[in-house]
Each structure stands twice: as structure tokens, then as C-alpha cells.
Amino acid sequence: MAGQKMMVMLFQQWVSDKEQWVELRDLLMKESNLPGPRVNLELSGNFAKHFAHPKLTETDWEFLNSWANLTEAEAGVNDPREFLPFCAVRALGAYYSYAEEEQQIMIQSIIKTAMNDSRWRMREASAMALQSIGEDGFALVRQLIDMWEKGANRLEQRAFVAALAHPPLLKKKENTLYCLQLATRIMESVGSGEVQYEDAEHFRVLSKGLEYSLSVFVASEPEEGFAMLEKFAKSRDIRMIKIVKSNLGKSRLSKKYALQVAEILDSLTIQERT
């Protein structure tokens, strides 16, 4: 792979020149690691950082939007072209805090569309974009989630917890408590049966997100976090029990908080016998 410094130089040289967009596209596709199981996250991160400033030109803006809106038909799953919208969505998240209000509204729409994309990498890009926004200011990402939470579908809920399960966002207790409260509401919606005609695949995606993200929140604020897990361990809903067990099995909890983990697992064993 070309050196990262060289990559940055090429970004700077090519992004603002429409005549060079083809070269940049070809470079990113070549270095994408696609097809393959793991996309080039380091390269996409460096690409995104290139746009984390307030001096985005109209050409830059046009460029990012043209890539962010590439559909699955144009950039399918595991095709090197998929790396282009993946990078663009991450970059728009990095730019968000510097953007004008009208641009922010457009970025919000792009991120929300990516949350619901059939391509799992695009859903990951939406969560990473929210993480970038949160790193610039937790209040910014909280504002977005608060705006979207009511009526959010399972894919959108998954994006929320995946984005927030990011240690740099959890350095302040108030931030983690917000995450725990949000996770509690999402878990309660799972157990309430409030969503009729649940899409099995969409629920699977949410469940996979909850199965690790809760442990990140709990590790940051164990007292409140274990109280949450204990509450949901008492559920008779096998889906919720699976989520709780998965989080208890994460090493970030099982190694440092073995006693608390064992107590909840014991209660689950007793419950299963009755």
C-alpha cells in the first residue's frame, strides 16, 4: 500500500480538481481491500480526516455528495466501488461540526439513509459518521439521536448503540448515563412487543449491536450498568436473555467484574430451571 503521507498528498491534490476524481476513485478502489472480509479502515479514516475542517470548497462538497449517494446497484456489496460511498459518508461525518446549517441537514439525511442501507458496510459507515460527530461534541450526536429516536426503526436503533459504544465518547459519566438510558429504552421496546410485524433481519441486526454495545456502556459505568443488565436478566423474553448473556461473556466485563457477572449468570440459571 502506498504510504499514508503520500495518500494525504494525493487527496489534497486530486479532490478539488474534477479532472482528477477518476484517479482518486481508482486509487481508493485499488486500496480498498475489496473484495474481502475487511475493508481498509485506516485509509477511509485518513480520507475522512482530510475533510474535518471549515474550509470545504463547493467542489469538495459536490464530490462527497456524488459518492455518498452511490446506490447498491452502482456500488454493490463487496465490490471495490462500495468503498467510495463508505468513505464519503465517514467524511461527511467528520465535516459535520464545521458545516453550515443547510449542509448539516443534508448530511443528516445522508447518514439516516445509510443507517437503513441494505449494505452492512454502509450501515457501519453511518455509525462511524455519528462517532466522528460525537468526538467533535457529544451534544451534537445526542441532539441527532434525540431527534431521531422517536419512531426509529430497528436499523436506526442499531446505528445509535453502535455509534455510542465508542470509548472516546464515554469519558464523561453524564455521556455514559445517557447511553445507558437510551439502551434501556431500546431494550424495553424489544421486550414490550410494541413493534408489530417485526422484520426478522432488521431485528437480527439490532440484536447483534446490542449483544456487544451494552458491555461497553457497563464497563464505563459498572454500578448503573450492571443494574441495567440485572433488570433485563429477569425477563422471560429469550431474545433479551440472549443479549444479556452475550454482554456478560465479553472480556471487558467477565475479567474485571467476574463477581457481578457470576451473580447475574447464577440468577439466569435459577430462572431457567423454574
Contacts of 54 (CB under 8 A, 6+ apart): 98
In a domain, 146, yes or no: no
* Kind and range of the H or E run holding 55: none
| Domain match, 24 and 109 both | yes
In a domain, 143, yes or no: no
Radius of gyration for the chain, computed over Cα atoms and rounded to the nearest angstrom: 20
pLDDT at 195 over 90: no
The more confidently predicted of residues 117 and 27 is: 117
Domain count for the chain, please give it.
2
Distance of alpha carbon 193 from its chain centroid, rounded? 25
Q: Which of the listed residues 88, 121, 136 is the one where a domain comes to its end?
A: 136
| Domain match, 169 and 124 both | no
| Domain match, 88 and 170 both | no
| Domain match, 129 and 170 both | no
Local confidence band at 1 (pLDDT 50, 70, 90 cut-offs):
very low
- Residue 114 near residue 129, CB atoms below 8 Å: yes
pLDDT at 173 over 70: yes
pLDDT at 3 over 90: no
Q: How far is CA 117 from CA 11, 26, 120, 124, 148, in A?
A: 27, 24, 7, 10, 16
Mean pLDDT across the stretch 19-44? 93
